[in-house]
Amino acid sequence: MTHTQTIKIAGAVMPPLFALTAVLAAAAVFLGPTVPVWRPGGSPATEVVRVPGGPLLYREAGAFTLEGHEIDAPLTQTHVAGTLEVMKYQVSAAQYGLCVEEGACAPADNSAGASAGLPVTGVSYLDVQNYVTWYAGVTGQDWRLPTDLEWAHFARLGPEPDDRSAPSGTMAERWLNTYRQSAASGRTPDLAARPRGHFGENALGIADIGGNVWEWTDTCFARVNLNAAGNVMSRLETCGVRVLEGQHRAYMSAFVRDAISGGCAVGTPPDLLGFRLVRDVPWYDGLLRLFD
């Protein structure tokens, strides 16, 4: 199966929750203590969706220029190599709260009055790094933020729109056009987090892609200058700014928790900042399948 909506274990296709339990149980049986079974604080185990690698059309994140004119990054045919396990839902306020309780994470900005079943919001990239470290320690697994490419791969939203693939008009015209397009989108902020799953699932069974919680990725902001032939003349990465994904792509300083006050001078800022983690499926995963 190319689109792994559920995890295949022992020849049966099961809903993810059961499947995960089965995975963990199987792991415990076959691999003993090397793969810990973890149910933090009695909360439901983290549901994951397995996403095989594959090809995709991708528009790289960052600011691109073609001979000095700002353009959108060229669309390229690329691929994701390995299989990923992707959290089906964004990390919840309850899950994040465990990290806070243990003193490994700072409380989220929106923690006052936040319901445990909601996705955690009001977290910066730096907060997420603390969570990643803590979560990896607790689970013994290498959970991490996805790269922007990986996010694009599992989000299945298609590449970013092509507004400016070639320079057209004067600088001022492009500036005004960009402003007007942003103004015409007419999006008004939607700042109330919704219960996980509210925004539905994509074709892979991953929930809440493109809802009102934007997701941090591990990808740094890059400025890339191209020449007329499309060759990269220079590339400078600024890792103090990271790429956020959601209804549209955004760039945000790593310490920002609230996009409304933290960036996006022109254009509509993300409503809420949250995250989900991924991990590379380990090499011994194939061994499990041998026992099918």
Partner 1 sequence: MTINDTIARRSFLAGTAALAAGVPFVLNRRSLAQDASPVTVAGLGGVTTDIDALERVEIDLLPPPFVHAHEQVAPGAPRVVAFRMVIEEKPMVVDDLGTTLWAMTFHGSMPGPLMVVHEGDYVELTLVNPATSEMPHNIDFHAATGALGGGALTNVYPGEEVVLRWKATRPGVFTYHCAPEGMIAWHVVSGMTGAIMVLPRDGLKDHEGKPVAYDKLFYVGENDLYIPRDENGNFKTYESLGESYADTLDVMKGLVPSHVVFNGRVGALTGANALTANVGETVLFVHNSCNRDTRPHLIGGHADLFWPGGGFVNPPQRDFETWFIAGGSAAAALYTFLQPGVYAYVNHNLIEAEQLGATAHILVEGEWNDDLMKQVVAPRPIQ
Which residues make up the interface to partner 1 (CB under 8 A)?
65, 68, 112-113, 170-173, 175-176, 179-180, 182-184, 186, 188-189, 191, 223, 225, 233-236, 261, 266
Beta carbon nearer to partner 1, 16 or 62: 62
**Smallest gap, in angstroms, from Cβ of residue 257 to partner 1?**
14
Beta carbon nearer to partner 1, 55 or 169: 169
Beta carbon nearer to partner 1, 187 or 289: 187
**Smallest gap, in angstroms, from Cβ of residue 223 to partner 1?**
6
**Residues 6+ away with beta carbon under 8 Å from 265:** none
How far is it, in rounded angstroms, from Cα 109 to Cα 124?
Answer: 9
Instruction: Summarize the chain as % helix, strand, coil (round to 5).
Output: 25, 25, 45
**Smallest gap, in angstroms, from Cβ of residue 188 to partner 1?**
6
Beta carbon nearer to partner 1, 79 or 223: 223
65 near 73, Cβ under 8 Å? no
**Smallest gap, in angstroms, from Cβ of residue 189 to partner 1?**
5
Packing angle of the helix pair 93-101, 125-139 (nearest 10 deg): 80
Residue appearing with tokens 């790289």:
60
Beta carbon nearer to partner 1, 78 or 181: 181
Beta carbon nearer to partner 1, 79 or 187: 187
**Smallest gap, in angstroms, from Cβ of residue 289 to partner 1?**
47
**Smallest gap, in angstroms, from Cβ of residue 165 to partner 1?**
18
H runs (alpha helix) in the chain = 16-31, 93-101, 125-139, 148-155, 171-184, 259-262, 285-290
Helices (H) and strands (E) in the chain, counts: 7, 13
